[in-house]
Structure 1
Amino acid sequence: MASNRTPVDGRLLTVAEVAERLNTSVRYPRRLIEERRIAFVKIGRHVRVPESSLNAFIASGVVEPVTLRMKGAA
């Protein structure tokens, strides 16, 4: 068994649970898994997504707000 794999922390979510958290249909998480854009675990023929991977995926898409300064303001 390979020892260079990332350990899985936290809960393992089903594809349906991931879709619910992302507020999408199950097609979107399945596409993320197929395109290897999110880490997943195969247990037999079942696919599960670690909660930590989902949280990291969501965090990677966060866009911080821009603060504009008014001209002439001190």
Structure 2
Amino acid sequence: MSTTAAVPNDPRATLRGGLPDRYLTPDDIAEIFEVPKETVYQWRKKQVGPPGFRIGKYIRYDPADVRAYVTARKNDDQAAA
């Protein structure tokens, strides 16, 4: 069983308890999905993964879009089963 909910600054715990009050960074996305940050950048380059947007030179992710992406993936997997 995961103990991430006990860590107050863990983005995964925040998303499970409610949407964070800030946009997420690629580091946050990598931590949430437990993948290397390079994978997050590859997802963006290939236009897969949660949708991100650019603020100047920085990539950010809206927590609502991340949640919608996860929900869509779960629904796709259930439909394929």
Q: Per the shorter chain, which TM-score range?
A: 0.5 to 0.7
What stretches of structure 1 move > 4 A for 4+ residues in a row? none
CA distance in 2: counterparts of 1:14 and 1:35, whole angstroms: 18
Equivalences for residues 1-74 of structure 1 within 5 A:
11-37=22-48, 38-62=50-74, 63-64=77-78
C-alpha displacement of 1:11: 3.1
Partner deviation per Cα, 1:40-62 (whole Å, 9 max, x = no partner): 12111001111111112211221
Q: TM-score, normalised by structure 2?
A: 0.58
Structure having greater relative contact order (Cα 8 Å, sep ≥ 6): 1
Structure with greater strand share of residues:
1
Q: Unaligned stretches of 5+ in structure 1?
A: 1-9, 67-74
More helix by share: 2
Q: How many residues align?
A: 57
SS at match of 2:60: strand
Unpaired runs of at least 5, structure 2: 1-20
Letter in 2 for 1:55: R
Please tell me whether Structure 1 or Structure 2 has the larger radius of gyration of its CA atoms.
1
Mapped partners of 1:44, 1:19: distance in 2: 21
